[in-house]
């Protein structure tokens, strides 16, 4: 590696970025500034070193408890304070969740994610989730849950039930966080991630781009993720889905190639992680999704709905995989 300067940083250029290291924001930004072909080439080299370049994991995401959330996340239609078409709904039954998981497996999914619109779960919620996790795990699916901020001991209970991953996104860089959310702070997110790690669960942690942030902020998000010790095994990169009634509705759209660059930077800085092409695919042309796979994305959410927003249908994904020569992982 090249020598570091007085500030402990170094210039990043194509061909000099594959050694594991602690990433500074300026180093990630230097990646994002590379000529597009050079960036994609480097991301492909890293990807092929650690993953099957033609295999993509299919995950299905279900909302087990929708709406009524007390938080004020500017992107989220489930916040009770915003006037969207998402109402406050009770928790799904165990039978509904298991039936959805079985159907997802039949469609080719190998991972099943359960989300709930809570600031954090109560013990009765944990009890219900443990039943769901155990039942879904019994189907032979990898399990993930995103339930909000956890109290001491809750992560251990979820692990005992068979949970593989806990999702808790950082959303954006620390300096931009208060522009998006004011009902919690960044340290709250880090505290829950620490509980998840200490419980022996795998971490699923990523963010959202296209919320009006700068490239420097996107670099800050990737640096935060890459510098977690260890970095997350699962990194969902979401493109903002603008929902009428939320504060971020009407935000200037992010250039699609900038989104692809963000995927590539995540792949290079977290080489062994599953980089998940998450929300926003419904509006992405096939060519943009193909570039995301080329940049190192190796997981998608499969099925026509995410928590509350749309997603490409199963038939469209099958057609895309056929065109690209991809196969489910």
Catalytic residues, by residue number, are 69, 73, 76, 113, 144, 204, 276
CATH 3.20.20.70 applies to domain 25-328: yes
In the chain, which residues have pLDDT < 50? 1-20
Strands (E), the chain: 55-65, 111-116, 142-146, 165-167, 202-204, 207-209, 234-239, 274-277, 299-301, 327-328
Give the CA count within 13 Å in the CB-facing half-sphere of 50. 21
**Token digits of residue 111:** 């991972």
pLDDT at 310: 62
pLDDT at 201: 98
Q: What is the DSSP letter of 206?
A: -
**Peptide bond before residue 311 is cis, with ω within 30 degrees of 0:** no
pLDDT at 312: 78
- Angle value at C-alpha 187, between 182 and 168, nearest 5 degrees: 85
pTM of the predicted model as reported, rounded to 2 decimal places? 0.91
pLDDT at 148: 96
Residue written as tokens 């039978």? Answer: 95
Domain ranges of the chain: 25-328
What are the tens digits of pLDDT across the range 35-59? 999 999 999 999 999 999 999 999 9
Q: How far apart are the first and last CA of the chain?
A: 34
């Amino acid at each position: 590696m090249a020598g570091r300067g007085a500030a402990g940083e170094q210039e990043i250029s194509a061909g000099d970025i594959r050694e594991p290291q602690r990433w500074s924001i300026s180093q990630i930004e230097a990646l994002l500034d590379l000529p597009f072909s050079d960036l994609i080439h480097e991301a492909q080299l890293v990807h092929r070193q650690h993953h099957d370049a033609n295999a993509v994991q299919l995950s299905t995401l279900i909302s087990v408890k929708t709406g009524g959330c007390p938080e004020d996340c500017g992107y989220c239609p489930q916040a009770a304070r915003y006037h969207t078409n998402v109402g406050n709904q009770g928790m799904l039954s165990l039978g509904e969740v298991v039936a959805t998981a079985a159907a997802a497996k039949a469609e080719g999914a190998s991972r099943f994610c359960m989300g709930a619109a809570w600031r954090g779960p109560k013990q009765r919620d944990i009890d219900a989730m443990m039943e769901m996790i155990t039942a879904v795990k019994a189907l032979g699916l990898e399990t993930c849950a995103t339930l909000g901020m956890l109290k001491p001991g809750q992560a251990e209970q979820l692990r005992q039930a068979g949970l593989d991953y806990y999702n808790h996104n950082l959303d954006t860089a620390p300096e931009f966080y208060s522009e998006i959310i004011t009902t919690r702070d960044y340290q709250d997110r880090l505290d829950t991630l620490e509980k998840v790690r200490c419980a022996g669960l795998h971490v699923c942690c990523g963010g959202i781009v296209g919320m009006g942030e700068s490239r420097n902020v996107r670099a800050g998000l990737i640096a935060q993720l890459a510098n977690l010790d260890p970095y997350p095994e699962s990194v969902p990169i979401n493109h903002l889905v603008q929902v009428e009634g939320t504060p971020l509705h009407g935000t200037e759209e992010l250039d699609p190639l900038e989104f692809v660059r963000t995927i590539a930077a995540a792949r290079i800085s977290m080489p062994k992680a599953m980089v998940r092409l998450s929300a926003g695919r419904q509006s992405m042309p096939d060519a943009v999704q193909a570039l995301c796979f080329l940049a190192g994305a190796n997981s998608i959410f499969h099925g026509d709905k995410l928590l509350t927003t749309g997603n490409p249908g199963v038939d469209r994904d099958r057609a895309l995989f056929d065109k690209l020569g991809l196969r489910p992982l």
